[in-house]
Structure 1
Amino acid sequence: MPASKPVLVVGSLNMDQVVRVPRLPVMGETLLGASSITFVPGGKGANQAVAMARLGASVQMAGRIGQDPFGQQLKAALQDDQIDTSLLVTDTEAASGSAFIFLNAEGDNAIVVSSGANAHVGKDQQQMEHIFAALAQAQALVLQLEIPHDTVELLIDRAHSLHVPVILNLAPAYPLRKETLSKLSVLVVNETEASLLSGQPVESLEDARHVGAILHEHGIPTVVITLGAQGAILINSDAQGQTNIIYQEAPEVTVVDTTAAGDCFVGALTVALTEGQSPSDALRFATRASAIKVTRFGAQSGLPRRADIR
């Protein structure tokens, strides 16, 4: 695939509203958090777009924002990283998406997303026509599930018909049809998402190997399961058609904020694969990138650049 072609991301843009808390509240409890809230550009689609742009890819982002200050800030953040935002549309009915994030001292979080304008992606025929035109010229298509699921399926079908590789991050988890999944080039899931698709628990590395092989046998050429601090595995077929499982340990780091670590992984993996790196090298690159991300605060604010990984 020519390097000059952009990677097209169709997905969500959210303004993350982050509150530091000593622990997560329980049902019915009022908990005092930090004295001030922090606003950080986020959204799974936008995070993955920024991750790729900072690692050297040419990126085009399609999505929707609201007629509000958050929307302009989200768009400006993408443009600061030289991302093509010509496919962004300002929605006249809904506010920009927001994510409410509770971040504890160990860097773990709990997140609630208010979709806002993201829920209208795919409902505007004119925008979809522009996205389809861009897709025909794209190096690859990157998708997540913070936009309507029927839009995701439609985009996968169109990309498949155009022979454009599709990288899908099945998050938030949703059981897409096997027919749709078989049209992917790369599926990226965590333990919970892998379990949802396979109907089997993923509680260990051995479970992940087993479930990953099952998903690969369903017709997905490359399946990647991220395992947090345990690293990640990649399942594909070797030259003889035999199932090949690659495991990559994660570096030991001091965790500050796990927000967007998965998005960073997806972005880095996509960059490495579209550059022609081998699956094992791409997995190592993505694992290291996401390890750097968790040492930094914020979604897009904490995403690394190429030099950081080197």
Structure 2
Amino acid sequence: MNKKIALYFSLAIILLFILFMVYDTSTREKEAVEQKIMATPETEPEAMWEIESVLEVDYGKLKAVAVTAKGIILGGDSFISLYSYNLEIIWMIDAGKQVFALASDGDNIYASSGETILVYDIDGNPVDEWGPYDDSAIITSISVSTDYVAIADAGNRLVFVLDKKGALISLVGQPGDQFVIPSPYFDIYIADDNTLVTANPGKRNVEFRNIDGDILRTFGEAGTALEYFCGCCNPSHFAFMPGDNIVTAEKGINRIKIVDPEGILVELVAQPGSFIASIPVDLAAGDNNIIYAANPADSKLYAFKRK
């Protein structure tokens, strides 16, 4: 009899222990879920900009945008056009070649057609043609300072710094210091003090160099959070804004954001998913506090203003 009582008592203790373990485990899991919910934002950060207007380009596939004091320059499949800031067309010309990138110094317009640079005056009249530079050249970006023209060649992973006549001044990215370019997205900016700012998309960063190519500083790292650059090759496009903040676009997620000159996140312009993920938008920003995004996927220009 005593043995049966002892057995029942032991079984009761074991059962109570099992119940306690189940209760403790479920409680911990619930607390962990609650903590995760508390630590995870309910929504994506709010975009602080909104689309003010949209221009549909129906005379050729839109690929590039730049701004000048005279207005907005667009380029794409065999055309270059100039629009007023009210998005009214001023002129349009047949470039005879696809245009992949644009820049202007106010007097002239510089357009990339892959392996050559086409030069026009601000009224669209041909001035010069530079190149071809190399059979494997893919010129994806152009920028102009007071003295120089900088072009980014994704095919050869090089940056050419030229004078305003097209003569070579320096070549950046030679063996031993090559850029990492997994896909044909390679953006560049040259400041009036001749600082070169380049995307190094395979490293997911932005590099500041002198005109000889020496690195002065960098910012950016890989990651999916808003303050990082995601995917294999980002930023795909960037543009400097008045005040030296930088607006960037990323392929694979196709979000647009603004960072300060040190790379610190300022704010979100367009949420991920606003555009087709695999086709990043080209960017330009003028003195009118508008960000322009040229979207090759639908051949439309989107003008963003701050809310």
Taking structure 1 as the reference length, the TM-score comes to: 0.35
Q: Which has the larger radius of gyration?
A: 2
Give me the TM-score of the superposition, normalised by structure 2. 0.35
Higher helix share: 1
Question: Bigger relative contact order, structure 1 or 2, given CA contacts below 8 A and separation 6+?
Answer: 1
